[in-house]
Amino acid sequence: MIATITLNPAIDKSIFIQNFTIGKTNRAHVDRIDPGGKGINVAKVLKQLGCQVITSGFLAGNNGRYISSFLTEQGIMNDFIVIPGETRQNLKIIDPIKKTITEINEPGAEVDECYLKQLMDKVKELASQCQVIVFSGSLPPGLPDYAYKELILLAKEKGTQTILDTGGIALWQGLAACPTLIKPNKYEVEEVLQVKVSEDKLVNIAERLLASGPEIVVISLGARGALLASRQQKMRAYPPVVEANSTVGAGDAMVAVFAYGLERGLSLTDTLRLATAVSAAAAAAHGSEVGDIELAKNMLPEVKIQEI
């Protein structure tokens, strides 16, 4: 079984506006609402892949109840800690003409450290049942920067493999716990290392991150694919060309497949190929909707893997 932990979930509201212009009145063409947050998106993809998955973290208020009900309806086990306040709502403004996505993310409900203690107990319980735990997303207000580090260390005590997908100081602190795998994007790498990352320096950057503790580093590069580095292998994946409708859940789809690969014992090459295809399918979907898994499988031969 795989668990996903989302400390700062959200309801993702996607608004499609043609030729979106700042400072002027814009007319929404279509809109959709999806229960979101990175770990929740990961759980939705894992369900589509046929995995037994449970998701946890913090939920609050009516938005939190909506997310929990949605997950239950989708057959996804969920066991969240309920906190005071209201789970946030994030706005995604998608312009299909300019091919841009503007994201406006609320900070989220404040979490008292007493609730972190409850989550730590829950993670210990989940680590006894799960082969992999995914920790992903931003930290909500109120939690210390080292929250992910503490949670990863608890999971590792039980021998559970861990994936960390976050940015900023939370990623930097989390590296100290030596998670099994991290999956920052290019921007998050630049943020945490305080360097400008060029394509020709990606391998060196990945090696720097490996030296800080994780066993596997995956740097996602959007439409340009991904770079994977471990102590044994270094590979670059190039995705098939798709018409991107929304990149909101593409990185989460990639994380889901790596969790799937770790649980099933797949090779890194096979996992990277599948992760790249599933991520491309997610980019072709709308909002934070799960991509078409069958489409992803059909695209597998189009994914190019280059050993470095």
Q: Which of 79, 200, 252, 292 is catalytic?
A: 252
DSSP designation for 306: E
What is the three-state SS of 287-298? CCCCCCHHHHHH
Tell me the backbone φ, ψ of residue 16, rounded to 5 degrees.
Answer: -100, 115
Q: List 5's β-bridge partners, or say none.
A: 56, 135
Using the Cα atoms of residue 271, residue 171, residue 219 and residue 307 in order, give the sign of their dihedral: negative
Residue-wise pLDDT tens digits, 153-196: 999 999 999 999 999 999 999 999 999 999 999 999 999 998 88
Residue-wise pLDDT tens digits, 64-107: 999 999 999 999 999 999 999 999 999 989 898 998 889 999 99
Residue 121 falls in the annotated catalytic set: no
Q: What pLDDT is recorded for position 200?
A: 83
Which domains are present in the chain?
Answer: 2-307 (3.40.1190.20)
Question: Which stretches of 53-165 are assigned E, i.e. beta strand?
Answer: 53-59, 77-78, 81-82, 88-95, 100-104, 132-136, 161-165
Q: Per-residue pLDDT averaged across 39-45, rounded?
A: 96
User: How many of the other CB atoms lie within 10 Å of CB of 130?
Assistant: 23
